[in-house]
């Protein structure tokens, strides 16, 4: 345990089922009772607690009483057993690349999984890894075997456990589904401290509830994920459009054509006005496999195309480099009230245009793109996250960076809520890394029609109701 003096500790009031009554213990009392023989470290110093009370959004700040950095699965089991015995709330944290306190917990325990980050085996086309490993770390290890995870999100700094808990979508999802569709087996520590191995054939109800289930039933500590042969190179075509509608029409065409490996639509503020373009990327090893006529049938501004050639790793690292540049410019510490929606194809023009019209492009800070990721229902086979009924829909990401002014942040949050409700009324869904406050009633609507199934698994595996307080459950 850290020897740095403890900060003032809040009184933690919980119902203790074993003692059939209420108990009030100071954070200091609880820490004194915690196990002292972790393989990793139990941290209670002020700097660590304050760090755990922040995330990429820099909007919500809930301070725990302790942060565990486990060095083994046994550490997680030990802490969850203690938390269940003393009815202490727990939140799991990877690299905290979320925007509204989803990895925080007030007066509870944060388990920082980034310290649990080993690659155990890569054999055949399967990798067995700790949940705290980042996708970039896994990619580097798998490339040594000429393999890659089947689906990568654009930002590789997220952890395997983190994205498997929400979905994990990217520009290849329209062909290969989400990262959760390529999870083969999980090891999960439940809210009672039990370690359970689960898959589609073993403890399948827990497996289905954990994938995309926001960590409400347990903590993923280890995962087996599918790999496939890695390409060597990436060629990106940037195609420009005069407006939203023409950009989306060509994006639909390219989805059907399956001409490119990775597709992403863009709306970005450039020199005080919005510009629309598609980035269509081919992953390849042999040049003869590239599309012979990549622009056939498209209606973009011809002869304005921009083509970039990179290595596959160089392409995968692009957003890591963008985030690093924003941090270097001081913008990484600004609030990021992101809105991430899943919007049916029939409604995307209406909703997206309203969102775009609500933003003054002259006031948009760097690193604030609006993105469109096409997805097909037939490629996504998990129970969660909830998705529209339509075959074609989009991950619609409004990735705002705003100055650290309370009024501006509140205004962005109010607009997020408005557009979330509008999208829901149009048959869309929320992607829950968003900066959108949700009530229990909202979550019930969000997880419908499988709310009762999730609730049953939650009661079974987290009877103390230790998980989910950071998202209002």
Burial of 330 (0-12, 13-18, 19+ CB in 10 A): exposed
Report pLDDT for 25. 59
Range from 290-294, 341-345, 426-430 carrying the lowest mean pLDDT: 290-294
Report pLDDT for 211. 98
Q: Residue range 189-199: average pLDDT?
A: 98
Report pLDDT for 250. 98
Is the pLDDT reported for residue 16 higher than 60? Answer: no
User: What's the alpha-carbon Rg for the chain, to the nearest Å?
Assistant: 22
Q: Residue range 244-260: average pLDDT?
A: 97
Return the residue matching tokens 């306190």: 101
Report pLDDT for 21. 40
Q: Band the pLDDT of 10: cuts 50, 70, 90.
A: low
Is the pLDDT reported for residue 471 higher than 90? Answer: no
Neighbours of 380 (CB within 10 A): 20
- 11-115 carries CATH number 3.30.43.10: yes
Domain ranges within the chain, ordered by starting residue: 11-115, 119-230, 233-441
Report pLDDT for 473. 81
CATH number of 233-441: 3.40.462.10
Identify which of 226, 145, 110, 221 has the alpha carbon closest to the alpha carbon of residue 178.
Answer: 226
Higher pLDDT, 471 or 147: 147
Is the pLDDT reported for residue 20 higher than 70? Answer: no
Q: Are strands 306-311 and 233-241 parallel, antiparallel or unpaired?
A: antiparallel
Report pLDDT for 286. 86
Q: Residue range 306-322: average pLDDT?
A: 96
Report pLDDT for 7. 46
Matching CATH number, 119-230, of 3.20.20.370, 3.30.465.10, 3.30.540.10, 3.40.50.970: 3.30.465.10
Identify which of 27, 105, 91, 92 has the alpha carbon closest to the alpha carbon of residue 60.
Answer: 105
Report pLDDT for 71. 98
Secondary structure element (H or E) that encloses residue 447, with its range: helix 440-447
Range from 216-230, 283-297, 376-390 carrying the lowest mean pLDDT: 283-297
For residue 424 the two structure tokens come to 């829901």
Quick one: what percent of the chain has pLDDT higher than 90? 89
Report pLDDT for 23. 47
For residue 254, give Cα distances in angstroms to 79, 178, 185, 259, 307: 49, 19, 33, 6, 17
Report pLDDT for 289. 83
Is the pLDDT reported for residue 405 higher than 50? Answer: yes
Residues in Cβ contact with 75 at an 8 Å cutoff, skipping those fewer than 6 apart = 38, 39, 40, 68
Q: Residue range 200-229: average pLDDT?
A: 98
* Most confidently modeled range among 13-27, 127-141, 459-473: 127-141
Burial 63-102 (b: 16+ CB within 10 A, else e): bbbbbbbbeebbbbbbbbebbbebbbbbbbbbbbbbbbbb
Q: Band the pLDDT of 435: cuts 50, 70, 90.
A: very high
Q: Residue range 104-130: average pLDDT?
A: 97
Identify which of 428, 420, 335, 439 has the alpha carbon closest to the alpha carbon of residue 388.
Answer: 428
Is the pLDDT reported for residue 3 higher than 60? Answer: no
Secondary structure (DSSP) of 149-183: ES---S-TTSBHHHHHTT----TTHHHH--GGGGE
Q: Residue range 239-255: average pLDDT?
A: 98
Contact (CB, 8 A) for 222 and 183: no
Mean pLDDT of the chain: 93
Q: Band the pLDDT of 470: cuts 50, 70, 90.
A: confident
Is the pLDDT reported for residue 4 higher than 90? Answer: no
Dihedral angle sign, alpha carbons of residues 418, 396, 104, 48: negative
Is the pLDDT reported for residue 365 higher than 70? Answer: yes
Report pLDDT for 78. 98
Report pLDDT for 9. 52
Higher pLDDT, 24 or 425: 425
pLDDT tens sequence across 39-86: 999 999 999 999 999 999 999 999 999 999 999 999 999 999 999 999
Is the pLDDT reported for residue 6 higher than 90? Answer: no
């Amino acid at each position: 345990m850290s020897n740095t003096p403890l900060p003032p500790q809040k009184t933690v009031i919980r119902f203790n089922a074993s003692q059939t009554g209420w108990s009030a213990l100071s954070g200091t009392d609880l820490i004194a009772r915690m196990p002292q023989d972790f393989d990793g470290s139990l941290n209670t110093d002020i700097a660590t607690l304050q760090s755990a009370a922040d995330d990429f959004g820099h909007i919500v700040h809930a301070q725990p009483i302790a942060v565990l950095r486990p060095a083994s699965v046994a550490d997680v089991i030990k802490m969850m057993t203690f938390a269940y015995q003393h009815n202490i709330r727990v939140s799991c944290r990877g690299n905290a690349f979320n925007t509204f306190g989803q990895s925080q917990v007030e007066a509870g325990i944060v388990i920082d999984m980034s310290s649990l980050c080993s690659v155990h085996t890569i054999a055949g086309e399967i990798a067995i890894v700790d949940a705290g490993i980042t996708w970039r770390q896994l990619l580097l290890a798998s490339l040594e075997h000429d393999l890659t995870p089947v689906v990568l999100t654009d930002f590789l700094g997220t952890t395997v456990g983190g994205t498997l808990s929400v979905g994990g979508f990217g520009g290849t999802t329209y062909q290969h589904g989400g990262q959760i569709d390529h999870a083969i087996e999980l090891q999960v520590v439940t809210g009672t401290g039990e370690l359970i191995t689960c898959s589609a054939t073993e403890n399948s109800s827990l497996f289905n509830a954990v994938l995309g289930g926001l960590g409400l039933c347990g903590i993923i500590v280890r995962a087996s994920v599918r790999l496939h042969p890695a390409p060597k190179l990436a060629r990106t075509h940037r195609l420009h459009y005069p407006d939203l509608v023409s950009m989306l029409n060509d994006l639909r065409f390219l989805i059907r054509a399956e001409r490119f490996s990775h597709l992403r639509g863009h709306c970005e503020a450039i020199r005080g006005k919005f510009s629309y373009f598609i980035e269509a990327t081919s992953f390849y090893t042999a040049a003869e496999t590239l599309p012979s006529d990549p622009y056939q049938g498209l209606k973009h501004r011809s002869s304005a195309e921009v083509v970039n050639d990179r290595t596959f790793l160089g392409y995968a690292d692009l957003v890591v480099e963008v985030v690093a540049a924003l941090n270097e410019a001081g913008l990484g510490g600004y609030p990021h009230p992101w809105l991430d929606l899943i919007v049916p194809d029939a409604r995307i023009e209406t909703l997206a245009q309203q969102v775009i019209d609500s933003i003054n492009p002259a006031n948009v800070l760097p690193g604030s793109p609006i993105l469109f990721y096409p997805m097909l229902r037939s490629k996504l086979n998990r129970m969660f996250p909830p998705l529209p009924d339509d075959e074609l829909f989009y991950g619609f990401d409004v990735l705002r960076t705003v100055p650290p002014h309370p009024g501006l942040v509140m205004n962005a949050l109010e607009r997020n809520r408005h557009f979330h409700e509008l999208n829901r009324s149009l048959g869309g869904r929320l992607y829950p890394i968003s900066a959108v406050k949700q009530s229990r009633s909202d979550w019930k609507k969000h997880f419908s029609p499988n709310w009762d199934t999730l609730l049953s698994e939650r009661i079974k595996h987290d009877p103390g109701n230790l998980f989910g307080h950071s998202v209002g459950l």
